[in-house]
Amino acid sequence: MKQNNWIPRKDSPGKRAVLLTGGAGFIGSHTYVALKQAGYEVIIVDNFSNALEDTPERLQQLTGSKVICYADDLLDRSAIRRIFDNHPIDAVIHFAAKKSVAESTTAPLVYYENNVSGLIGLLEEMRRASVFNLVFSSSATVYGSPETLPVRENAALSSTNPYGFTKLVCENVLSDLQKFDPRWNVGILRYFNPVGAHSSGLIGESTTGIPDNLMPYIAKVATGELPFLRVFGADYDTLDGTGVRDYIHVMDLAEGHVLSLEELLDGAGSHIVNLGTGRGYSVLEMLKSYETACGRTLPYQVMPRRPGDVGEVVADPANANALLGFEAKRDLDHMSKTSWNWMLQRMD
Ligand code: WQD
């Protein structure tokens, strides 16, 4: 049994404090809400490079309590050190990283510096502050194009792009750290395809620019900001020929982070789990679901396959369920409805 290094703090015995790096971003802001609901104290540090400026105000409106948020860059070591010096922190959930496959191929060094050097600097500041509980945001992209489906955590790991490699390198850094220093408790969460938004419509995925990912792109077709959906390939070996993915509602994902954190703080030890639903949906199924949500037919055109894409990637979430008691509860229609509600509020 791992040494449980969580000790109730003098100023608020029983209340645990968690630092969210990238906590104003898409997954981070939803995890903030889930943590507050679970009774945690939460501190955000975010450089707002991929987050709405008024996210802290929106979170304050949602949770009814003051938001502690530092607008700092993870690479600014003195700023990160100051946060640890000013707040007794029990654990860190690390979201702050660049995450676009396409962008990573044009700026690999930026990805390695942000994602790998950023993690190493954070770990050094955590060790200096004697904080050894970390939940790490990883991705199904570390599976490359999986041999067997659904994907289990012991599947072969590989990647064809710099972004995916940074996630692989970070996972190796963390596994070596735990191997040689038993004080560390690490939860590695491999997200499949996070989509949707909080049901209030107050927080959601950043919608600036032209999205790479499917649901935010469909959302902009639904608002009329984009003319039609490009369906990248309809000749895959799937039920309707279009790509199949394991979409998971962002609030299910957020709640999965709370379960991972509890596992670490309760001293049950480190884990690596897939966070997916175990159910895949095709591009056309997603499009149909969004048409129901927005109440109109959405135009699309079949295009050639996107380089690097595979036909089907679906998680086997059995390990997350057995280890953490994780089970995704929200279905595809809820994902589309909450995404559409977020888009409508954004347009007001
Ligand atoms: C889903 C399906 C496309 C857009 C990526 C990253 C992964 C993770 C999640 C960070 C595929 C098709 C898409 C469009 C389409 N991100 N599609 N038209 O590629 O599974 O995963 O995002 O961790 O690392 O690789 O997600 O949403 O881009 O694509 O037809 O305009 O939708 O071909 O089949 P993907 P996606």
d(CA 137, CA 139): 7
Question: Across-strand partners of 230?
Answer: 301
Residue 207 confidence (pLDDT): 83
* Whether residue 182 has a cis bond before it, omega within 30° of 0: no
CB 278, CB 317: distance < 8 Å: yes
Residue 347 confidence (pLDDT): 81
Residue 144 has pLDDT above 60, yes or no: yes
**What is the CA(308)–ligand 1 centre distance, in A?**
10
Computed from CA positions of residues 159, 137, 210, 283, in that sequence, does the dihedral angle turn out positive or negative?
Answer: positive
d(CA 98, CA 141): 13
- 240-283 pLDDT, tens digit each: 999 999 999 999 999 999 999 999 999 888 999 999 999 999 99
Q: Whose CA is nearest to atom 11 of ligand 1?
A: 243
d(CA 48, CA 31): 16
Residue 169 has pLDDT above 80, yes or no: yes
d(CA 43, CA 85): 13
CB 329, CB 277: distance < 8 Å: no
Query: Which residues are marked as active site?
Result: 163
Residue to mutate, 205, 232, 310, ligand 1, most ligand atoms under 8 Å from C-beta? 232
Residue 259 backbone dihedrals phi, psi, to 5 degrees: -65, -40
Residue 308: pLDDT band by 50, 70, 90 thresholds? Answer: confident
- 13-65 pLDDT, tens digit each: 567 999 999 999 999 999 999 999 999 999 999 999 999 999 999 999 999 99
Burial of 226 (0-12, 13-18, 19+ CB in 10 A): middle
- Percentage of the chain beyond pLDDT 90 is 91
Closest ligand 1 atom to residue 215 Cα is 27
Does 17-347 carry CATH code 2.30.130.30? no
Each domain of the chain, given as residue ranges in start order, spans 17-347
Residue 181 has pLDDT above 70, yes or no: yes
Residue 269 confidence (pLDDT): 87
Q: Whose CA is nearest to atom 18 of ligand 1?
A: 231
d(CA 281, CA 244): 5
C-alpha distances out from residue 98 to 12, 102, 110, 118, 268, Å: 34, 11, 9, 10, 30
Q: Which residue type sits at 151?
A: V
d(CA 125, CA 340): 40
Residue to mutate, 210, 300, 309, 313, ligand 1, most ligand atoms under 8 Å from C-beta? 309
Angle formed at CA 165 by CA 191 and CA 324, multiple of 5 degrees: 25
**Ligand 1 neighbour 144 (Cβ under 6 A):** no
What burial letters (b/e) apply to 287-312, b meaning 16+ CB within 10 Å? bbbbeebbeeebebeeeeeeeeeebb
Chain centre to alpha carbon of residue 143? 16
**What is the CA(214)–ligand 1 centre distance, in A?**
6
Residue 72: pLDDT band by 50, 70, 90 thresholds? Answer: very high
Residue 77 backbone dihedrals phi, psi, to 5 degrees: -55, -40
**What is the CA(294)–ligand 1 centre distance, in A?**
21
**Ligand 1 neighbour 300 (Cβ under 6 A):** no
**What is the CA(283)–ligand 1 centre distance, in A?**
10
**What is the CA(337)–ligand 1 centre distance, in A?**
19
